[in-house]
Amino acid sequence: MSDEGLAQGRHPATVTGSFDAVGRASETPRAGIVITGTEILTGRVRDRNGPWLTERLLELGVEPTHIVVAGDRPQDIEAALRFMREQDVELIVTSGGLGPTADDLTAEVVGGFQGREMMLDEGLRERIAEILRPLAERYPNLDRDAIDLGNQKQATVPHGATVLEPVGTAPGLVVPPVADQPGPTVVVLPGPPRELQPMWERALSSDGLREAIADAKVYRQAILRLFGIPESEIAQTLREAEKAGIELARLEITTCLRGGEIEVVTRFPDDARATYDAFAEMVAARHPDTLYSVDGSTVDDQVATLLRGDGQTTTRTIAVAESCTGGLLLARLTNPPGASAYVMGGVVAYSNEVKIAHVGVAEETIARHGAVSGEVASELADGVRLRMRADVGVGITGIAGPQGGSEEKPVGLVWLSVRGPDGADLTRSVRLPGGRDDVRERAVTVAMHLTRRLLVGESDGQRSIQPAPQGPLST
């Protein structure tokens, strides 16, 4: 992997192969997703449901066509539903707008859209009341009339809809079109992901949803991941694959560049497996130094596995000393469950004083080379490794901006060092593009990849460093 490649980082871009010859057959069910909520439309809350639902639909062999975000105004929700119907989708999935307040109108709008009268479901009202009873007993001063009105609102559903039992207090719905009327079935789900996700499983067992996607054909999905390569190289590989006679029209290939990593996602039917294998082999042959994952695993997955061990290899521990990334690397390392088995800890050594006093960087090194230098990064890695009695140490120091750069050391310059036992060492500098957040996040990604490379045996040489001590932790 070239050091120039390490610095690659641009806004995500997507290129999609044709796939229509096989994958987009006329019988493939299509679905649209409508996310409701003014708080999502205005960006105050990030949409987590749309991408999650897209993945679930793909797993079922249903082709997602659009994700539309609509505010809480009923006319906007209805317009989104009409748009989806005009796309000839068999299924619409909505999220949000099922609460007890006046602006929660999704059920009512969907009922009107499907030509179904709204009716109070007494049994559902009683079940919601039972869910709310402990809350009312705990807070006796709550307005009981307001609670009862909200309860009644949530229990008023389109006639003929299948009710999905609440996970919180909001029921979901599967609302087919009225008899003899063409149109999509609408699955109505609550907004909170902790309620939506288990309710989706309940929706899958409903007759209405199963009938809407009865013709679905499950496609396989495979993911290749590369790091340190420009997107243009993958575009050229796609052209070379076609020249070599690989029928890319039988595959749906999507590429996305994010923070220096390229993700190549391919969907294909079973009878195109040989075509995909030929394509994957060409990617591996053309990019052997930058292709790091052929099974979809992320660099975070791989680093965790390499540190944890697999029963045949022993667990290796890691510690980090971060300056410009301010703890972001440690956050990623500790994200997987069970990370306490191999993560010793970390130090945010933002000031020179902390670098010297708590990690052991020599004052002379900073004076001679500056805080942003390979020498300081190496001493950060070595110092935190030795002081925390870890097998691997990582040091990061850089200029995230927007201030602090110079002609010699511009904004975006980051030095990273990964040090291991027996003199194993990888130290690199990268010039990362983007704003402050971009630089910090991309620096962490580079650090993860350098850590992976050291753990699989790469090293710049045998520098003289001390083995990790076995006694009490140093301070």
The pair of structure tokens assigned to 458 is 């790469």
pLDDT at 473: 37
| 3-state per-residue secondary structure call for 59-94 | HCCCEEEEEEEECCCHHHHHHHHHHHHHCCCCEEEE
pLDDT at 27: 66
Question: Which of 181, 212, 243 lies at the terminal end of a domain, its last residue?
Answer: 212
Indicate if 137 and 268 belong to the same structural domain. no
Domain assignment of residue 198, yes or no? yes
Indicate if 284 and 187 belong to the same structural domain. no
Question: Which of 183, 212, 241 lies at the terminal end of a domain, its last residue?
Answer: 212
The parent domain of residue 254 ranges over 3-10+219-293
Element (H, E) at 48: none
The pairing of strands 252-258 and 261-268 is antiparallel
pLDDT at 107: 97
Domain assignment of residue 463, yes or no? no
CATH of residue 224's domain is 3.30.70.2860
Domain assignment of residue 470, yes or no? no
pLDDT at 461: 64
Domain assignment of residue 322, yes or no? yes
Contact by Cβ (8 Å): 84, 241: no
| Counted domains in the chain | 3
The pair of structure tokens assigned to 75 is 């006319």
Domain assignment of residue 112, yes or no? yes
Domain assignment of residue 324, yes or no? yes
d(CA 380, CA 416): 9
Indicate if 311 and 376 belong to the same structural domain. yes
d(CA 141, CA 129): 17
Buried-exposed string 245-266: b where 16+ CB fall within 10 A, e elsewhere = ebbbbbbbbebebebbbbbbbb
Domain assignment of residue 125, yes or no? yes
pLDDT at 34: 98
Q: What is the pTM of this model?
A: 0.83
d(CA 320, CA 332): 11
Rg of the chain over Cα atoms, rounded to whole angstroms, equals 27
Indicate if 309 and 416 belong to the same structural domain. yes
Question: Which of 293, 322, 344 lies at the terminal end of a domain, its last residue?
Answer: 293
One pLDDT digit (tens) per residue for the chain, 475 residues: 344 344 443 333 444 444 443 344 446 899 999 999 999 999 999 999 999 999 999 999 999 999 999 999 999 999 999 999 999 999 999 999 999 998 899 999 999 999 999 999 999 999 999 999 898 888 888 888 888 999 999 999 999 999 999 999 999 999 999 988 889 999 999 999 999 999 999 999 999 999 999 999 888 999 999 999 988 999 999 999 999 999 999 999 999 988 789 999 999 999 999 999 999 999 999 999 999 999 999 999 999 999 999 877 789 999 999 999 999 999 999 999 999 999 999 999 999 999 999 999 999 999 999 999 999 999 999 999 999 999 999 999 999 999 999 999 999 999 999 999 888 999 999 999 999 999 999 999 999 999 999 999 999 864 433 333 333 333 2
Indicate if 231 and 130 belong to the same structural domain. no
Indicate if 80 and 197 belong to the same structural domain. yes
- Within 108-165, strands assigned E span 118-120, 156-158, 162-164
Indicate if 368 and 277 belong to the same structural domain. no
